[in-house]
Structure 1
């Protein structure tokens, strides 16, 4: 029987569904105690049920700085310091630049850039002290290219990749790695919402909209959430990979 006192601790944000659920399940199967956070208690319960190991369900708003501090305090009180942070929580918005409101712009920055920054800032001191830690941010191929109608989302993802690269350079000699995984269009609820938006704005059928997104990947299909989780686990297990934005996009964007 495993000694729970020596089992490493992972935190997955946006763990209620999609990529976050797959990553949490994989980390749990790999022997981590996994703290799960998202807004929905029901979604988190579903993720916890898929994890073979011990989980800690901590619902809340990751964009609230007070919640981030409390989240880490609760994990540390229960299990000790976080060894692996997977900053997965995120969202998108579609609008032309001139139709993007201040509220939409700020929401993208708050969730996709500032929340990972706060989680990273809180996680690093203990990782550096222990001379071991892994941070993986789920970014997007939008961190590397620009496409029309997603300026706020793209700006936030470009920003978070810059954060990853700078943080990785700071801690490279201290046993801590910081990476981003940059998926294309993944078969998740977030993409389902994108499909609905295309249908509403263009009048295309749902199948036409989904096919249009699938065709953006040269492999001709959506990426699976398990394929993204594979890349996350590579970053967790390989200490020589750091400061990278690893594309999981079917060959759509040159690295």
Structure 2
């Protein structure tokens, strides 16, 4: 029997996208904010099952949480209202601001968590290939995959450069000022290596006749399984049920 984590990772990319899209859309349809705050928890459980907990938590804590906290504080202080809960000088926290902040940040956190989960359980190459099979131009899918991979690639390259500097005796760890002094000189080789890798990619694409106006073939094989059809049917049923409950019941 297939393990739950492997089952999630082996789903077709568009099936995973439909699930993530459902997680992004339902908080916008359902009233209140309790369900929206439960979406990140559900995403965490799925990431735990799929073995992507560390990456998911890192992205949420370092990327989403600071933005959500900042928006919550700004809206709490400056959203108009009459019910003042706390005040100091020209600053005041109002009940209306708290309510609006909870509504807004819950939606942002739910949508952001679903997006993070999707890209953690879906390989970029699988997503690009699935789009090509749907009829999207290979040029468009290559631009998409390059844009999504550029940050991880530059991060790995920066780590290599910093390790090289460390072997030469350059101090790269310690206080913020020490790390900044080590980081700034690393920008020049990072930018130059990025230009070099771009040129190498262009040569590689030309050697593979990427620009030739012929039907492209691929060694990367993707196929929908019975599990994908079952999951899609369940997602459609859940979505229709939510729509009926929200707008008719």
On whether the aligned pair clears a TM of 0.5, the verdict is no
Please state which structure has a larger fraction of its residues in strand: 1
Please state which structure has a larger fraction of its residues in helix: 2
* TM-score (norm. length: structure 1): 0.22
Structure with higher Rg: it is 2
* TM-score (norm. length: structure 2): 0.23
